[in-house]
Structure 1
């Protein structure tokens, strides 16, 4: 993994630890031991626990050797800035880069390092300073670990929601088209005058039914185990992006939301968004310069979306509108979602689109 490769900052950690080593007052064998604990920091991303244990071993070995052979390996100098110099980096690496390990495996070398510092006799200031720096390194490591974990979870959640949204869109669009094929094939089978035509129509209808079953199965696989997004049951999608786009295209829109938002199914949410989108596209196409109001009203058991516009102004500027969706197709989509669609011309020359969906 790229995250396990040594980076320039790891080399900087080695240089800092090695640079602090002469200040400990060591020379000869003691200097070699302390430097041996600093060099492995270059691999603290790839083997954080091994680096932490090497640092812990160094911190324990020096006091023990100072008792056994004090002439060869003395205790660190009282004015040393930190002991051991690699301790904060090793502790940080164990907390951050071994976050996926069991807590006992991750925290044991860190605790051993902290305990080894306490074994220094007659070095209270050095002990206090070293323990404080190690504690700060561990605290910052916990913060970085939690931040990285949160980022990964948010990225994974966004990916699941996007996959589920695509599955829902695919289900809605393809199911609508294939369902029309199945219905037309059924009508053709009933109206056919000869057996061959009837058999061919029935075969088309059966094939369409099989395709619908396979599509539902595939969508279920895409949504399985996510527990996120549209299948979770959320209030209607935010319509403000449509309002912003419409204003940018030359048709200002007033948006109001009445009532307490309640969860709706994914199909209802997507269809409601499509109704508002199609209605605003028709206003830009047929009534440039009109005053438009979009109202979302939550009531017990249903949610209603009303898009109402006044008559347009022939000379008004408006961006070119796309083909949009025809009212029959829009009505079919609304009915597939269990709702009703009412469209009518108003006395002032405007138009009103009203879609009502169940919230259960």
Structure 2
């Protein structure tokens, strides 16, 4: 709302414009017209083009008056008209990006050309056009700075929304997935027909809840609901690489093949796989070198996280926050993929998942 109502600085600008007007030396009706043109400067944030055209119209009217009556602007005036610099600044800074450039520049050009027609006042012309040019440039700088500030704020808000969506997806989906798997096992192994029916209903309801959660999370991550049924590329893994490097574990990220859209649950599972694998490397193999390979194959995506020797046995017995191999394998299988994990011949550790691309 900063640009809707006047602020103290706007009142100062209007007072300065009024002071420059009094300093011109005009008297009588001309002085009244100039002072009236200085008053709208108070609203140059709310109505920048109106203020700019008021100043430009005043300049043209005074020029016509000077030619018709023979009353040129006083040579001692600092700039002419006194509101020209404020009008140029307001048009550039506050007119808004949605307006065409011609709408913002036209009153500024009229102001610059009007003073050129003043006879025998070269110093006044130079001062005025210099003031108009500097004010317009500064107004453009303010507009660009404000746009960048808004974009950075929107980006920070979007990143926070995506982070919260990811955390919600991780926590809720993991718990519901286990419930769905356990209900499926109960439906297949129970000897009671009624228990099997209830378990199957729980499994189906849990599956629907997972699908609805995926849609809701995608709304939070993308800002709109468009396109989530068409498939999306894998999430960007570079933030995980940067986070790991900041924690002292360098990671090499490689992508082989042509990226293709995948289902939302597949993309999130891939992201979670790399996230958990890197987290466990940082916990149990500090100082190890890690390589993440994403390979796109016909109909599938293979993701491999391999690290140099550390203490891989602790990976399986991991405690505290995070997912163990069993939980991660269940998550991958729920997305329709397979997971393999184990030690390499050189003593390192490898986690590899193959996920469907459709």
Shorter-normalised TM range: 0.7 to 0.9
CA contact (8 A) 2:291 2:305 kept: yes
Cα distance in 1 between the residues matched to 2:29 and 2:196: 96
Task: Describe how 1:301-320 pairs up with structure 2 within 5 A.
Answer: 301=296, 304-308=304-308, 310=310
Shift of 1:134: 0.5
Distance 1:169 1:336, change over 3 A: farther
CA contact (8 A) 1:279 1:307 kept: yes
Cα distance in 2 between the residues matched to 1:140 and 1:111: 16
Cα distance in 2 between the residues matched to 1:164 and 1:185: 30
Cα distance in 1 between the residues matched to 2:165 and 2:233: 11
Cα distance in 2 between the residues matched to 1:204 and 1:234: 34
Structure 2 length-normalised TM: 0.78
In the other structure, the counterpart of 1:318 is none
CA displacement, residues 142-177 of structure 1 (integer Å, 9 cap, x when unaligned): 222122223322332343344344334433443333
Shift of 1:254: 4.6
Q: Which range moves more in the overlay, 266-275 or 189-198?
A: 266-275
In the other structure, the counterpart of 1:2 is 2
Cα distance in 1 between the residues matched to 2:82 and 2:269: 60
Cα distance in 2 between the residues matched to 1:27 and 1:261: 79
In the other structure, the counterpart of 2:341 is 342
Shift of 1:256: 4.7
In the other structure, the counterpart of 2:280 is 278
Shift of 1:178: 1.9
Aligned: 1:142 with 2:137: no
Cα distance in 1 between the residues matched to 2:93 and 2:353: 49
Cα distance in 1 between the residues matched to 2:310 and 2:234: 37
Cα distance in 1 between the residues matched to 2:17 and 2:207: 70
1:193 alignment partner, SS class: coil
Task: Describe how 1:134-213 pairs up with structure 2 within 5 A.
Answer: 134-213=132-211
Gaps of 5+ in 1: 246-252, 284-289, 313-320
CA contact (8 A) 1:298 1:304 kept: yes
Shift of 1:293: 0.6
Aligned: 1:356 with 2:344: no
CA contact (8 A) 1:6 1:43 kept: yes
1:82 alignment partner, SS class: coil
CA displacement, residues 118-139 of structure 1 (integer Å, 9 cap, x when unaligned): 2322222212221121012112
CA contact (8 A) 2:48 2:94 kept: yes
1:343 alignment partner, SS class: strand
Cα distance in 2 between the residues matched to 1:22 and 1:232: 66
Cα distance in 1 between the residues matched to 2:142 and 2:338: 48
In the other structure, the counterpart of 1:82 is 79
Alignment length, in residue pairs?
330
Aligned: 1:62 with 2:62: yes
Q: Which range moves more in the overlay, 169-178 or 4-13?
A: 169-178
Cα distance in 2 between the residues matched to 1:358 and 1:119: 76
Gaps of 5+ in 2: 261-266, 297-301, 313-318
In the other structure, the counterpart of 2:35 is 35
Aligned match of 1:119 in 117, 120, 123?
117
CA displacement, residues 87-144 of structure 1 (integer Å, 9 cap, x when unaligned): 1111111111111442243333222222322232222221222112101211221222
In the other structure, the counterpart of 2:50 is 50
1:257 alignment partner, SS class: strand
Distance 1:233 1:199, change over 3 A: closer
Structure 1 length-normalised TM: 0.77
Cα distance in 2 between the residues matched to 1:207 and 1:300: 34
1:354 alignment partner, SS class: strand
Distance 1:273 1:323, change over 3 A: closer
Q: Which range moves more in the overlay, 293-302 or 337-346?
A: 337-346
